[in-house]
Amino acid sequence: MASNRHLDIDHFKERVSMFENAAKILEQDLDSIRARLAEIIQEKSIKIAPPGEPFILTSGKQSHYYINGKLTAGDPEGLFCIARLILEEAKSLGAEAIGGPTLGADPIVGAIAVLSHLDDSPMPLFIVRKEAKQHGARKQVEGSDIAGKKVVIVEDVITTGGSVFKAINVVRELGAGILKVICLVDREQGGLEAFEEKSIPYQPLFFISELVSPEVLQGRR
């Protein structure tokens, strides 16, 4: 009996230590977290094209830089920074769930859900498939039931917002209300204007012009 009681005390101490560490992490200054996130994005996610050799994007357009938000979302510190900043905004909005289109939103909403638990403000997650499954329950939205809930939609990188608008339509069909769309980086190629046109609140953590010099954006380097 004494041995079991000792194990229970050790387990309790471990749990206390875990939550104390979590509290310290969640108390970090948001401006410092955002500044560190900018450094990680620049280091992990952005590549600058050599002079005269622009990248060819999926759309067929040329670009003097390439950004892959998943490389930042795949970095432990980078993912923490993203989740911490978005969680704070989602809480201030009174969000009841958080989700977005697969694949960009997947790691982000998972991290936010974990942080929300540590923060004692649990926020369920959901993922929007590109199309409904053709078997089983044939659902297009996986995770938490969002019917009638106020939700925040997240994405890693937004160019024109096409994939996010598709996800929004699916979410609305389930009876959820969109509080805001939040992305990691806006490429400043029409996304902001598209959301404004549809009166959907929208907030990038960064605009690309905050991360890449004007010379690169204009192809002068």
Block residue for tokens 């939700």: 151
- What pLDDT is attached to residue 187? 95
Q: What pTM did the predictor assign?
A: 0.87
For position 96, what pLDDT does the model report?
98
Tell me the C-alpha distance between 126 and 176, whole Å: 12
Helix (H, G, I), strand (E, B) or coil at 128: strand
pLDDT-based confidence at residue 12 (cuts at 50, 70, 90): low
Range of the domain at 104: 2-217
**Structure confidence at residue 21 as a pLDDT band (50, 70, 90):** low
pLDDT: which is higher, 60 or 162: 162
Beta-sheet pairing, 46-48 with 65-67: antiparallel
Q: How many domains does the structure of the chain reveal?
A: 1
pLDDT category at 8 given cuts 50, 70, 90 is: confident
Kindly report which listed range (31-40, 49-58, 164-173, 210-219) carries the lowest average pLDDT score: 49-58
pLDDT digits (tens, 9 = 90+) for 134-156: 666 679 999 999 999 999 999 99
| Burial category of 171 from C-beta neighbours within 10 Å (exposed 0-12, middle 13-18, buried 19 and up) | buried
Q: At 60, is the pLDDT very low, low, confident or very high (cuts 50, 70, 90)?
A: confident
pLDDT band at 89 (very low <50, low <70, confident <90, very high): very high
- State residue 204's pLDDT score: 98
Residue 207 has pLDDT above 60, yes or no: yes
Q: Tell me, what CATH number does 61's domain have?
A: 3.40.50.2020
Long-range contacts of 25-32 (CB under 8 A, 24+ apart): 25/80, 25/118, 26/84, 26/115, 26/118, 26/119, 28/84, 30/84, 30/85, 30/88
For the cut 90, the answer to whether the pLDDT of residue 58 exceeds it is: no
Euclidean distance between CA atoms 181 and 192, whole angstroms: 10
**Does 26 score more than 60 pLDDT?**
yes
The confidence score (pLDDT) of residue 20 equals 64
